[in-house]
Every structure is written in structure tokens, then in C-alpha cells.
Structure 1
Amino acid sequence: MANDSIKIGVIGGGQLARMMVPPAIHLGLRISVLAEAAGMSAARAADAVGDYRDPETVYAFAETVDVITFDHEHVPGEILRELEARGKQVHPRPDALQFAQDKILMREKLEELGVPVPAWAKVADEAALQNFIDAHGGRAVVKTARGGYDGKGVRVVSEAAEVRDWFTALAEDARGGFLLVEELVDFVRELSQLVARRPSGEIRTWPVVETIQRDGVCAEVLAPAPVQHASTLDEAAEIGLKVAEGTGVTGVLAVEMFETRDGRVLVNELAMRPHNSGHFSIEGSVTSQFENHIRAVADLPLGDTSMTRPAAVMVNVLGGPSEGTMLARYQQALAEHPAAKVHSYDKQSRPGRKVGHVTVTGADLETVRAAAVAAAAVFE
């Protein structure tokens, strides 16, 4: 079977690619990774190492596989469109992926779809930015249109001069461009809706989850999100489906949202790949986000996304231990917390870096959360 099976190529060698490997193997599919450098998280599946921004490197990798998917959104769109022109399958397709690559295109598309978003504008200079800040309470969120993640490329400002370096960089870039500015949303919590969609249009959703951020990085995920207002979670689920169908995404889509103090649900970000807010699904769902992503890009029937237990909590291991070895900490965590599922990304410790995660499932959210937090604390 293996010799006749579909071969999936993943561009990017991080932990998301790493976690795609086991379900691909279990489904009898072959999988290969184009890693940015040797020794990355998905190195065990890396058949090639090279720059994803170099067209010839990507074209050569694509010739060795049947379908291309991604660990991140940063492969230039012109390279992906050329792959399609050469007859290669790319999922998500570049016409959909562009809305996760460019935050301004994303905002324009979401408004076209009638999806609620924060008040926003694209600005090319300090004067335009200052006008927006002054009109929205004296503070605003400024984002680079491309390349930001985990809090990078995002600043909360009260004066346009606080992003002068970004405007200077745009002026020096031959392509020019804009910054995105948004209202500073008064939110009570952040939510995420994961959706899997295959090329045929079959679609599945996981329960809406609550994500807890620290220093701009996801720290915890509570699945399902605690019910404060049932209508809010229903609205979040409807938004996820509308975005998936409206953009034509294939694979897993994460729609990150704010629940505001005045009861609105606003879309913050999109990711068109497996996402940190869905890691709980490896143990917490009948079919994980990684398996359904692989199924979707191979155009196989999607799996059941219902919860395996009433509650699941995922806690990121950020940075790793300040002293001692990761191996010793993993041994301690496994010994002291046998109910916890500990995932290593095989990364060197570095402050703020995602080096692994811990998931606990059970009957009661608060009990499960306490256990997951305690297990992750072993790595501090």
C-alpha cells in the first residue's frame, strides 16, 4: 500500500510539521518535509533542507511529492501560484492562503464576507496613523501586514512615532505597502474556532475553545470554552464556518476571535494550517487537527471531531528550564503526572520559545486545568 499511497510534502520544519507525521503514517500516507535548517523540530521527516523563499528549492521539493501543504504561511504567493501552474496540488491554495499571509487582505475579505472585525484602516504614513489613533480613544494596535506571529509585528501605541521604524522600512522596500491599524478592543477573553475543510467541500468543526495569552503568546487552551453566553459560542462557530467557506480554504483553519465586554464577537487573526489552539485535540478529540489536516489535503473523508472527554486543557511549555536538562524535566513530569500527555518539540531551551506542551483530559475543567498547569510547571 505504501508504494502506491499519496506523498504529502510539508514546507516548514517546525513542531506543526512534526505533529503531522504520526497521523500520516497511521493513514498509510507518505510524508516529507522541507525544513529551513538541519536539526529542526520535524528533522526526522525532513528529506530536504532549504530556503522556502527560493523558487528553485521549492520547485525541486514539489517534484518529489504529490501534494504541498504548510507548517507556516510565509512561502511567497508567487512561488505557490507557479506550482499550481505546473500542475502541482497546493493546499490551502494560494488564493485562500493570501488571507492568512496579508492582514490587510484578510480584513478586506472578512468585511466582504460580512464577518465582524475591529475598526481598522491601512495607513502609509505617521499622519494617517495619528488621525486614526486620535479618533479611537488615543490608543490603537498597529500591525505589520505580513510576517507577524506570537506577538511579533504587533505594537500597542498612543503616538504614531512609536512605529516610525516600520514606516521607514516600508519606504525602503521597493514594493512599498501599508501598516494595519485597529481599534484597541476591550475584550473579556479570546476564543478560537478550528475548522477542517477538504477540496470536495466536506467540513468539520471542533468545539470553540478559550485561549489564554501571556506576553503575546498562547499559554493555555481550555476546551471546550466555558459557557458564559451560549449565543456567543454559537456565533463564534458560525463565523468559523463562514470564513472557511468564504475563503475556500482546504486543510485546517483557525479563526481567532475576541469576545468583547459589550457582547460582540470580533475576528482577530486567521491561520490556515494546524494551530496552537488545536493541540488539545491530539488527546481531546476523536480526530485531531493534525489528522484531519492530513486527511483534508489528501482529499480523504474527514474524521469525527467530538471530544473524547468532557474537558481538555493544553498548556504550552514556554522557554524550558533555566537550569538542568529538558530530559530530566520530562522524566520528572512523566513520573509525577501520569495522567498528563507530554509533548516535546525537540527544541533547545530559550526564553519565551514554545518547546513543548502538556494536555490533560477529564470530567471537570477546573480539575483538568490545575493538573495541566502543574505538569507544565515542572519545566520552568
Structure 2
Amino acid sequence: MTFPVVGMVGGGQLARMTHEAGIPLGIRFKLLSDTPQDSAAQVVSDVVIGDYRDLATLRAFARGCDVITFDHEHVPVEHLRALEADGIPVRPGPAALVHAQDKGVMRARLGELGVPCPRNRIVADPADVTAFAAEGDGYPVILKTVRGGYDGKGVWVVRTEAEAAPPFAAGVPVLAEEKVDFVRELAANVVRSPHGQAVAYPVVESTQVDGVCDTVVAPAPGLGETLAGEAQRLALRIAAELGVVGHLAVELFETADGRVLVNELAMRPHNSGHWTQDGAVTSQFANHVRAVLDLPLGDPRPRARWTVMCNVLGGDYPDMYQAYLHCMARDPQLKIHMYGKDVKPGRKVGHVNTYGDDLAEVTERARHAADYLRGTITE
């Protein structure tokens, strides 16, 4: 039997953990990475070092791959169309992926589908931002570059016309959105296969610090069954309408009047789904592998009543390995996932998962481990 080769474009931690999920299945991975030091390049045996923005490099990399997938959404869609024309399956395909690459395209398409979103439109200059603000409740307004933003980058909260000038300096289109007075942020993670099978994970609560995901609680505490079901159905509908194959994360705002609004889309494994490695029957990474290979999808149900994921960010304590002794002795059930990255202040270098029946206790365990590994606490 010949097992398939999955070509993964991007060498970050998502590729590293997706590769890990494919190992028990005997799936072979080929990686296109920027550098040999990238997170996934440290663990995948078949690594090509090259620029994903170069079509010739992509075509050479794709030879011998049965399917191409990604750990980021930045590959030019025209290159992906060329790979498809060469007969290489690309999952998710360019027609779907463009909605994760371009926030203007995403908002326009979701609007056509009647998906609930914050009020928005493309704006031409700071004066147009003021006009957009006046069409609603005034300032403040959220401005986003339509391409390239992540983890809070490329996003501004502006309160005056003068503050609205910097986003236009890059010379790329700018999207204006109303600043939603939300209760909390949620995420609905789903996975869809080429033949249309789909699964939905429990809706989670996501807490951001300085625009970066800090903590995820699964399932979202106090979220009613009706609204949770609505969020899952919305994510499944978006996946189907956009033709997504693989994992889709739908980031949501929960409003005070009991609605959900779509904030962002990600068509790859996502930080809000890292809890599934230890807290679900089948992880987001394993189901992404199954989906892109059109294998039957695995059970997304949780293994425990509560699972909490905390990101480990770099701080002033570079030798995290020395902290393992304390963390593992204090909590033998703790699950530590490190990415092989150099420790730099504020950089995501890993995450921890905890699970159990008492939410307060599970949260304290995760928070303590993440803070101890970072060096912000010492006992």
C-alpha cells in the first residue's frame, strides 16, 4: 500500500502539530519552509527551503505531493490556481482561501450570504472614515488592512480623523468596521471534507491580551445551547458556502442582546482549537489531515467536562526547559506543547492544556503553568 504525501506550505507550529497528527496514520509530509530553523522544519524529514511566493518554487515543491495544504493563508491565489491547473489538489482551494486572505472580499461575500457581521465598508481616506463613523454611532472605529494582518497587527482602534491616517500609509485598501460592544469573544471550529462531510467542535471562549490569544476555555462557560448551536450551524454553513476543505475557525463576538457576529475567518488549524489535542476525541490537526485526504472525519466531542488552553509567551526567562520539573511535579496531568522556537518577549513559543470537572481548578492549573514557564511567577 502506498500512503499519500501531504505537502504543507509554511513551517510554523501549525505545520509541526499537523505533521504530528499524521504520524500515527502513516501519512508522509513534505514541507515548504522559509528556513531550516522553522518550527516544523525541525521535525519533518522531507523539507524544501524556499519562497512560497515564487510559482516555480511551489511547482517544484508540489511534484510528488498528493495534496497541498497550508499552515498560513498567504500563498498568492493565482499560484494556487496554477497548481490546480497542473492537476494538484489544493485544500482549501484558492476560491475559498481568498476569503481568509482578503478581509474586504470576506466581508462582501458574508454580506451576500446574510451572515451577521459588524457594520463595515472599504474606506478611501481619513475623511471617508469620519463619514463611515457618522453613518453609525460615531467614533471609535476599527480599521483593518484588508491583507496581511494577524495577532492584532494591521488593526487599529481610531477615535479621531487624525488617528485614522496611519493605516493608509501602506498603500493597501483599508476596511472600516464598527467597534462592537461585545460581551466576549467566541470561536466556532469546524472541519469539512471534499465530499461534504463536516464536524463541529464545541464553541469556545477566547480571551485576547494585546491582540494575541491568551486563554481558550472549552466549552464556552455559560453559553446557552441555542446560541451555541446557532454558532456551530453558522460556521458549518460558511464552510459549505465558501467551499472550505479542511479546518475552518470562525471567530465571533457575543453581544449583550444574545447574538453572534462574525469577526474573522481562518482556513487552517487555529489557536482557538489547540485545546483539542488533549481535550477532544479527535484533534483539529488530525481532522484537518483527514479532511484534506478525504478520509472519514473523526469524533469532535470533548473528552472532559472542561479543557483550558493557555498560550506560553516568551518573557525574560529563556530556559523554559528548567521549569518543566516544577510544572510536571505540581500537575502530573498537565500537557505541555512547545514549538522549538527561540524565546523572545511576547512571542508564542508553546501552549499548555489542562482538563477536568472543576472549571476554576482547571483554569488555575493552566494559568499557573503558562506563567511559570514564562517566568512571571516563581512558585
Q: In the alignment, residue 372 of structure 1 is paired with which amino acid? A: A
Match of 1:306 in 2: 301
Structure 1: segments with no counterpart, 5+ residues? 171-176
Aligned mate of 2:349, from 344, 348, 355: 355
Q: In the alignment, residue 59 of structure 1 is paired with which amino acid? A: R
Q: Is the 8 A contact 1:227 1:233 kept in 2?
A: no
How many correspondences in the alignment? 371
Deviation sequence 1:27-57 (CA, Å, 0-9, x none): 1111111111120110121511111111111
Runs of 4+ in 1 over 4 A off after TM superposition: none
Q: In the alignment, residue 351 of structure 2 is paired with which amino acid? A: H
Q: Is the 8 A contact 1:133 1:159 kept in 2?
A: no
Residue 240 of structure 1: SS of its match in structure 2? Answer: helix
CA distance in 2 between counterparts of 1:164 and 1:228 reads: 39
Match of 1:218 in 2: 213
Q: How does 1:224-239 map to 2 (within 5 A)?
A: 224-239=219-234
Deviation sequence 1:240-270 (CA, Å, 0-9, x none): 1111111110000000000012222100000
Give the TM-score normalised by the residue count of structure 2: 0.95
CA distance in 1 between counterparts of 2:223 and 2:247 reads: 26
2:95 is aligned with 1:95:
yes
Q: In the alignment, residue 110 of structure 1 is paired with which amino acid? A: L
Match of 2:127 in 1: 127
Give the TM-score normalised by the residue count of structure 1: 0.95
Q: In the alignment, residue 271 of structure 2 is paired with which amino acid? A: N
Deviation at 1:235, TM superposition (A): 1.6
Aligned mate of 2:316, from 300, 315, 322: 322
Residue 310 of structure 2: SS of its match in structure 1? Answer: strand
CA distance in 2 between counterparts of 1:347 and 1:207 reads: 30
Match of 1:190 in 2: 185
49-58 vs 179-188, which moves further: 49-58
Residue 89 of structure 1: SS of its match in structure 2? Answer: coil
Q: Is the 8 A contact 1:18 1:41 kept in 2?
A: yes
Residue 379 of structure 1: SS of its match in structure 2? Answer: helix
Q: In the alignment, residue 78 of structure 1 is paired with which amino acid? A: E
Q: Is the 8 A contact 1:100 1:106 kept in 2?
A: yes
Q: In the alignment, residue 334 of structure 1 is paired with which amino acid? A: M
Q: In the alignment, residue 238 of structure 1 is paired with which amino acid? A: R
Q: In the alignment, residue 97 of structure 1 is paired with which amino acid? A: L
2:374 is aligned with 1:373:
no
CA distance in 1 between counterparts of 2:94 and 2:341 reads: 30
CA distance in 2 between counterparts of 1:100 and 1:157 reads: 24
Q: Is the 8 A contact 1:347 1:355 kept in 2?
A: yes
Q: In the alignment, residue 25 of structure 1 is paired with which amino acid? A: I
Match of 2:170 in 1: 169
Deviation at 1:332, TM superposition (A): 2.9
Aligned mate of 1:296, from 291, 294, 311: 291
Match of 1:174 in 2: none
Match of 2:236 in 1: 241
Residue 308 of structure 1: SS of its match in structure 2? Answer: coil
Residue 259 of structure 1: SS of its match in structure 2? Answer: strand
Q: Is the 8 A contact 2:10 2:71 kept in 1?
A: yes
Deviation sequence 1:109-166 (CA, Å, 0-9, x none): 1111111000001012222112112333221000000010100000000123324243
Match of 1:173 in 2: none
CA distance in 1 between counterparts of 2:211 and 2:160 reads: 21
2:140 is aligned with 1:139:
yes
CA-based RMSD? 1.3
Deviation at 1:324, TM superposition (A): 4.8
Deviation sequence 1:203-226 (CA, Å, 0-9, x none): 001000010111101000000111
Match of 1:253 in 2: 248
Deviation sequence 1:327-365 (CA, Å, 0-9, x none): 212333223221110000011111211100000111122
Match of 1:24 in 2: 22
Q: In the alignment, residue 71 of structure 1 is paired with which amino acid? A: D
Q: In the alignment, residue 112 of structure 1 is paired with which amino acid? A: E
- CA gap of 1:7–1:324, structure 2 versus 1, over 3 A, is closer
CA distance in 2 between counterparts of 1:104 and 1:74 reads: 15
CA distance in 1 between counterparts of 2:264 and 2:215 reads: 17
Residue 142 of structure 1: SS of its match in structure 2? Answer: strand
Percent identity for Structure 1 against Structure 2: 52
